[in-house]
Amino acid sequence: MIKTIETGVFSEIGDLEGVILHTPGKEVENMTPSNAERALYSDILNLSVAVEEYQQLEGVLSRVTQTYQIKNLLAEILEHPKIRLSLIEKICAFEQVLNIKEDLLDLSSLELARQLIEGVVLKKDSLTTFLADDRYSLRPLHNFFFTRDASVTMGDKVLISKMANRIREREAIVMEAIFNHSQHFKTTTVNPLNFYNVGTETTIEGGDVLIARNDVTVIGSSARTTTQGIDFIVNQLKHKKERQYVVVQQLPHTPESFIHLDMVFTFLDKNACMVYEPLIMKSSKYSTILITVDNGEVASIEKKDNLVACLKELGMDLKPIYCGGSKDIWVQEREQWHSGANFFAMGPGKVLGYARNVHTMEEMNKNGFEIIRANDVISGKINLKDYEKYVVTIGGSELSRGGGGARCMTMPVRRKPVKW
């Protein structure tokens, strides 16, 4: 019998009770150097190494919480004929390939789920398709192992992202179908595309949305999340009874390592956060803006000194721990590039991150975090319950080349409340 859980995320650090993952598959390999940029990669990944590293992430998480795999969730809902037909028609219409609809309907549910993720190979059965440069009718979802981006659990609802790049929109379509139809989850989805006043300029991705506290949301204004997207989220918060605060951090659009807020700032504990110091702590042209929502309307919008100072004003006194340490800007830049600021919390003071960022790990250790190897947890050599505060390190030499870290690869659906 399937156990149904109600979605509920009211912080970034509450003890994890459920998380959605996607182990990278052949969709990661189904690219060439010439189309890597179109796939939003700067390089092609070695799948066997990436999977080995990913298994460390999944292995640790499966020992502390309930994990769900997207491919399995998708295959389950595709067993229902009406859901299958509706989803196939929606995807085919969006990507303008209605001619393959019948072929997709004939597939088994598991094979259909696989092809919707790994790509549908173009049938060379006409002169047009024979001469076509494309290899796929439906292109592979190269970025889907970054499950954070296509949907966001905000409180007891799930916000379906409006992706900045059309090539990733199928990820959001799949996640909406899962949350609307899977028996594993009880939730309400909010999709910007269902609102008449939302235009093409509105984009939102989960890497930019951090749930600080039940009344504080931190959002990056980035190349992937527009000001219109942030305004959409603010409008959704107007329905809440208690006063809400939205802290907006502007981000540069280049280089690509600044793609989302969680690449420069993540929550570690009730009193600690990870920051990329040059952007978050120092004066720059990238502002921190506080939006206060009260009684169903925006009560005020004002600039603040920086993100950490703004959160302190709101009662969240966080010690910033510096990505790459505090001594060498070159080291900071290098480790930020490899997702050194991108940590994922399994509970207060219990986080996951990449082992390759050694200076960041030294800084974590100086601030009381025990450094634990993922394989020691998986093998049973170390019991995480014996430690109050730690960072579990996973190999990230290959995964980081995809442009994300532990937070990017995890989509929490439920956390325990935090006693502030």
- Asked if residue 404 belongs to a domain, the reply is yes
- Name the nearest CA neighbour of 225 among 173, 163, 277: 163
Q: At CA 152, angle to CA 296 and CA 229, rounded to 5?
A: 55
Q: Is the dihedral of CA 402, 404, 407, 413 positive or negative?
A: negative
Residue with tokens 């609102």: 195
308 with 335, same domain: the answer is yes
Q: CB within 8 A of 158, min separation 6: which ones?
A: 7, 151, 152, 175, 179, 187, 188, 189, 190, 413
Q: Is the residue at 223 inside a domain? A: yes
Q: Which of 138, 160, 179 lies at the terminal end of a domain, its last residue?
A: 138
Are 99 and 216 in a shared domain? no
Residue 234 shares a structural domain with residue 317? yes
Does any domain span residue 411? yes
pLDDT value, residue 369: 98
Same domain for 106 and 237?
no
Q: What residue has token string 């080995």?
A: 52
Establish if 186 belongs to a structural domain.
yes
What does the pLDDT read at residue 402?
Answer: 78
- In this structure, the answer to whether residues 192 and 112 fall within a common structural domain is no
Read out DSSP for 117-145?
Answer: HH-EEPP--SHHHHH-S-SEEE---TTTT
Q: Do 266 and 132 belong to one domain?
A: no
Cβ neighbours of 250 (radius 10 Å)? 16
Read off the tokens for 179: 């949350």
What does the alpha-carbon distance between residue 214 and residue 417 come to, in Å, rounded to a whole number? 9
Q: Is 420 inside a domain boundary?
A: no
Q: In terms of domains, do 277 and 409 share one?
A: yes
8-state DSSP, 390:
E
Residues 165, 39: Cα–Cα separation, whole Å:
10
pTM here is 0.95
Do 188 and 231 reside in the same domain of the chain? yes
pLDDT at 34: 58
Answer yes or no: are the C-beta atoms of 12 and 345 closer than 8 Å: yes
CATH code at 46?
Answer: 3.75.10.10
Domain final position from 121, 138, 155: 138
Full pLDDT tens readout for the chain, 420 residues: 789 999 999 999 999 999 999 999 988 876 666 555 554 555 677 888 889 999 999 999 999 999 999 999 999 999 999 999 999 999 999 999 999 999 999 999 999 999 999 999 998 888 888 878 788 999 999 999 999 999 999 999 999 999 999 989 999 999 999 999 999 999 999 999 999 888 899 999 999 999 999 999 999 999 999 999 999 999 999 999 899 999 999 999 888 788 999 999 999 999 999 999 999 998 778 999 999 999 999 999 999 999 999 999 999 999 999 999 988 999 999 999 999 999 999 999 999 999 999 999 999 999 999 999 999 999 999 999 999 999 999 988 888 877 789 999 999 999 999 998
Same domain, 330 and 348: yes
CA 215 to CA 149: how far, in whole Å?
22
Domain presence at residue 187: yes
Q: Considering its fold, how many domains does the chain have in total? A: 2
pLDDT at 182: 98
Tell me which of 138, 162, 178 is where a domain ends. 138
Beta bridge partners of 34: none
Both structure tokens of 73:
């969730």
Is the domain of 317 the same as that of 296?
A: yes
Residue 36: predicted pLDDT? 52
> Does residue 282 form part of some domain?
yes
Q: Which domain holds residue 112?
A: 86-138
| 264 and 356 belong to one structural domain | yes
Asked if 88 contacts 173 with a C-beta cutoff of 8 angstroms, the reply is no
Which positions ≥6 away from 39 have C-beta within 8 Å?
31, 140, 142, 143, 167
Same-domain check for residues 174 and 238: yes
